[in-house]
Structures are given as C-alpha cells and as structure tokens.
Amino acid sequence: MATTASAASGGAGAGGGADDGPSHVLVVCSGPEDSQRLAAAVKEIAASSPGLVFHTDASSLPPAAWPAFDAAACAARLHGGGGSSSRTMGRALLVAGVLGSTQELLRAHGSALGDGAVVVADRQTSGKGRGGNQWTSPLGCLMFSALRRLRVQSPAQAPFINYLVCLAVTRGVRSALQSLDLPALDVRIKWPNDIYASGVKIAGALIHTTWQGNCFNVITGIGLNVNNRQPTTCLDELLEKAAAAAAAVAAGSAAGSAAAPPAPLPREVVLAEILAAMEDVFNTFERDGFAPLEPEYLAAWLHSGQSLDFDDSDPTQGLVAPHVRLAIRGLSPAGFLLAVDEAGQRYELTPDGNSLDMMRGLIRRKLPA
C-alpha cells in the first residue's frame, strides 16, 4: 500500500528530496501492533508532507525507487524474524533510496512515528553535520537517524548522550564483524562524537535533544563509511587491508596482497548491531547512569594521557601569560573532559561552542581538590 497526499510533489520539506519527484519511503515494522499504528501515522504525515510517499507493502514501490538497503533483512536480524520483538530501537524502520534528511524527517514527525523509529537513506540531498555544514552522503555510506525517548533524572545529564551514541557505534561495529567472522578493527572514539579507525575518521554523529517531562527526546543522526571509500576510507577498505596483512603473515612475507578481498560488509548487519547496542547502552544509562559504561567508553576513546597546551595571553590587552600544559585523565562528573596540570590541579574542559575541532576550542575551569 502506498500513502501519499498529492501527485504534484517534489519539495525537500522535512524529508522529501528526490531531484525529479517525491521520495518513496518503505515502512517495515517489528509486529502487527506497530504496523497498525504506523499505517495511521504515515497517513497523517503524508497529508502534511507532499514530498513523501510511504509504502507499507514493498510491492507498491516503483522499481526505480527501490532502496539498496534491505529493510526486511535488517529488521529480521534486529527482531529475530519472529514477527514481534521487545526491542524499542527499530520497531519502525523507514528506508528510502533518496531522502532530503533522515534527521529532519524525525525532527518533524518523530512524535507520530514513535519511540524507537529509525530512518535510513541510501543518499541524502540535504544532510547536515555539526555547525550546519553539508553532510557528504556517498553511496555505500550507512546514513540513518534514530529516535529514543530517554528517561533520566536531570537535564544536566545531556553531555553523556554523545558518549552513549559513540559507544553504541563502536560496540555495534565490533559485534557485526565478530558475527560475520571478520577481522577485528581498532575502531575508536574521538571526543565528543566522531569515530576513527587507523587514524582516519570513518563516522560522525549529530545529536539533537529536547528535554520534556523528565525525558530527553534524542534524535541521533549517524553517517558511517561502510562500503564507500571516499571521502576518507571505509570499513570495507580497512577489512581488505587486514586480510592482506594476515595473508602476508601466513605466507611469511611482508608483501602479501594476493588474498582475495572480502565481500562487501552488509550495511543491514551493521545497522542492526548498532541499534541493538544503542538500546543496551540507553537502557543501562536509564537504570544505572554512565558509571557502568565509563570503563568501556574510556577504553575506546583516543584521549587518555593526551596533552593539551593553553595560552592565556591576550595581545590586544598586552597580556603575556605562561603556557599551561594539561594531561587528559578521563571525564568529569558533569560529563566533560577531566584534566590535570603538572602540579596535580584538576580542571574540567568544556567546548567553547565556536570550534569545529572540539579539542582545539576548550575552556578550562579549576575543580576543587
């Protein structure tokens, strides 16, 4: 079944973005109850968003609109293929070949789609990164946004949400590789919301939160280079290098590139494992806070022991001050960077809000001994 509001449509709006017409969105649900609810929800959304056409039956999709991402395979892996699931994340999975922005669709219509809704696009035409910069969306990149209503005690816990998401990505990638019997990759977190491998950025997260009634509405937008080798590198390329290195060791040679490259890593498996990890870390945070997750997070990040230099000089005021060198030790109780100087004085480091490289735009505050 297809649900649309108007035959004359093509605007980007909250989610539409196909260059020559509306965006066709396939809706897959985890069970009958969600299917009934989502059928009503997408009819409501379509009435206000003529750039979107929703399909609750894959057979109604026009052939040219079929997404490369296999929504049914992802849902089956995430929910066990039994027709129902206790999982919240991915209970409604919306997939499009071309979409304006997965995050904007959820920001506009998340209340109708419900907790755990996930939107995936093969290609975005209006994706945004931090600071409003355009989010590059090459084919083969796993691009999705996910909605979670996170029940916590205080809005002061907001800084930890970045860490939960990044931890879920690293955990999910590791789980996906392990489940497919592929080599482990050294996937690490660059504070606060980037993912690196082999010293190169492979993923980023853009997180939008609103606080309402002891609950964060968290919309997470993630772009993870799975099969696309540009603009940096991707999991496929890193796995090829790992396989070649293993073949070289097995052959007793330092130049073993004869190993057959592994098959492309299925984005469906990666997303299912990330969503499962995301649900687990969110549930832990709701129940116990960040403390049980902090050791795993710190083991995955890039910054323990990293030194940062601060210069308080102000040439405009004729002020010359000595450099201060701080070493990062972890996270402060408030969820920012914890650092110490050479005398052992502790500092909390927070972003200044002006720098795209968060590690270069930090404000320091002394903490009590």
Strand partners, 366: 347
* pLDDT tens profile 121-168: 999 987 555 555 555 678 999 999 999 999 998 999 999 999 999 999
Residues 6+ apart with CB under 8 A from 342: 325
- From-to residues of CATH 3.30.930.10 in the chain: 2-300
Residue pair 158/216 in contact by the 8 Å Cβ criterion: yes
Alpha-carbon distance of 1 to 291, in angstroms, equals 46
pLDDT for 259:
60
* pLDDT tens profile 36-67: 899 899 989 988 888 899 999 899 999 999 99
Residue pair 178/172 in contact by the 8 Å Cβ criterion: no
Q: Name which CATH class applies to 2-300.
A: alpha beta
Instruction: Write down the pTM of the prediction.
Output: 0.89
Ramachandran angles phi, psi of 327, nearest 5°: -115, 130
Is residue 301 over pLDDT 60?
A: yes
- Of the candidates 110, 24, 115, the residue with the CA atom closest to the CA atom of residue 71: 24
Alpha-carbon distance of 195 to 111, in angstroms, equals 29
